[in-house]
């Protein structure tokens, strides 16, 4: 299995709907090596979307589990030495087994130790890198004011950094009011060239819910397990997430009720809703 897979064409509404259907049909098992703050909500997000979570991050089991999982998520939010060892073992095993893995590089641009960890992990070629704009800029090493923790950068500012990171991955996303996704596309170009996908939607309540961004990384991993290519997987995860947030916002009274309604929304998103409400556009860079 080729790890840095070029999409045969840019994502379309039909391919997003088909990938969503594949997730529901396959119920992929996602191994999540994630931060302590996000584990519970992340597991519920995966279950609500139609996938199966497993929070196996100890060094004794991480590699063995990566070989049987459909995909692996690596989230650098609160790394310990033991967890980082588990991460290294998991991505090495996933890479060897041809299983996709996703990197969420929280803080990698602002803290030296986890930055070094992220650099080591990149050698194992993540299928996808997902973060907010500041995290993507920080990982790429662009901009001393982007520490990888905050959300102060606009996703459009992160596009050059995301393109730079395509040296390591098939697709990269910077989330925000308008999510910006870049990835390699083979259509009409030899060699393949990067495309930019802009995805609208979501809710202003999302940043008020702990682990919402981290959970998007887990949903991305679930889609990499079933999609025909990683750019379509990443785009479909963002579309699914945005539509669920819009459904939740319609009934929520505050952050608490939004969190519960968001889980219901993930379950409620279907092909008809995607066809009617998905808002994204794609163009070559």
Please write the tens of the pLDDT for every residue from 268-282: 999 999 999 999 999
Strands 179-185 and 171-175 turn out to be: antiparallel
- Distance, CA of 86 to CA of 88 (rounded, Å): 5
Token output for 85: 């060892």
pLDDT at 227 over 70: yes
pLDDT at 255: 96
Going by C-alpha positions, the residue among 80, 73, 75, 76 that lies closest to residue 52 is 73
Total residue length of the chain: 285
- Cis check: omega of the bond before 191, within 30 degrees of 0: yes
What is the band of 235 on the pLDDT scale with cuts at 50, 70, 90? very high
248 has pLDDT over 70: yes
pLDDT, tens only, 80-101? 999 999 999 999 999 999 999 9
Mean pLDDT, rounded, of the chain: 93
pLDDT at 107 over 60: yes
Q: What is the pLDDT of residues 17-71, one digit of tens each?
A: 999 999 999 999 999 999 999 999 999 999 999 999 999 999 999 999 999 999 9
pLDDT 10s digits, 142-191 = 444 444 455 568 999 999 999 999 999 999 999 999 999 999 999 877 78
pLDDT of residue 150: 52
Question: What is the mean predicted confidence (pLDDT) over 244-252?
Answer: 98
Confidence of residue 194 (pLDDT cuts 50, 70, 90): very high
The residue behind tokens 């709907």 is 17
d(CA 242, CA 261): 13
Q: What is the pLDDT of residue 190?
A: 78
Alpha helices in the chain (DSSP H): 13-26, 39-49, 62-68, 81-97, 112-122, 133-140, 159-165, 212-224, 230-249, 255-268, 271-277
Q: Both tokens of residue 41? A: 């909500």
pLDDT at position 148, please? 45
Q: Say yes or no to pLDDT of 105 above 50.
A: yes
Rounded (5°) CA angle 147-220-190: 90
Whole-number Å distance between alpha carbons of 63 and 93: 5
Give residue 192's pLDDT. Answer: 87
The reported pTM is 0.94
* pLDDT over 70 percentage in the chain: 95
Within 10 Å of residue 171's Cβ, how many Cβ atoms? Answer: 34
pLDDT at 141: 86
Largest CA distance in the chain: 51
With 50 as the cut, is the pLDDT of residue 220 above it?
yes
Instruction: Give how far the C-alpha of residue 280 lies from the chain's centroid of Cα atoms, to the nearest Å.
Output: 17
| Domains, the chain | 13-284 (3.40.1190.20)
Q: Please, which residues have CB within 8 angstroms of residue 176's CB and are 6 or more apart in sequence? A: 132, 133, 151, 154, 155
């Amino acid at each position: 299995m080729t790890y840095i897979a070029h999409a045969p064409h840019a994502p379309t509404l039909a391919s997003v709907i088909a990938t969503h259907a594949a997730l529901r049909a396959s119920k992929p098992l996602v191994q999540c090596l994630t931060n302590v703050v996000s584990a519970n909500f992340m597991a519920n997000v995966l279950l609500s979307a139609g996938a199966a979570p497993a929070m196996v991050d100890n060094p004794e089991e991480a590699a063995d589990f990566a070989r049987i999982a459909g995909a692996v998520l690596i989230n650098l939010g609160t790394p310990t030495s033991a967890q980082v060892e588990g991460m290294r073992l998991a991505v090495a095993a996933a890479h060897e087994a041809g299983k996709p893995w996703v990197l969420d590089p929280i803080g990698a641009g602002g803290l030296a130790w986890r930055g070094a960890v992220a650099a080591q992990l990149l050698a194992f070629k993540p299928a996808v890198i997902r973060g907010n704009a500041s995290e993507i800029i920080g990982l790429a090493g662009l901009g001393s004011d982007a520490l990888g923790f905050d959300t102060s950068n606009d996703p459009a500012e992160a596009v050059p950094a995301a393109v730079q990171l395509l040296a390591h991955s098939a697709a990269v996303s910077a989330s925000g009011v308008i999510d910006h996704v870049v990835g390699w596309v083979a259509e009409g170009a030899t060699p393949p060239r990067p495309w930019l996908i802009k995805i609208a939607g979501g809710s202003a309540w999302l940043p008020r819910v702990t682990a919402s961004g981290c959970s998007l990384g887990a949903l991305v991993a679930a889609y990499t397990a079933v999609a025909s290519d990683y750019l379509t997987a990443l785009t479909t995860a963002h579309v699914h997430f945005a539509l669920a947030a819009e459904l939740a916002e319609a009934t929520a009274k505050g952050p608490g009720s939004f969190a519960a309604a968001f889980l219901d929304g993930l379950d409620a998103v279907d092909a008809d809703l995607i066809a009617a409400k998905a808002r994204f556009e794609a163009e070559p860079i």
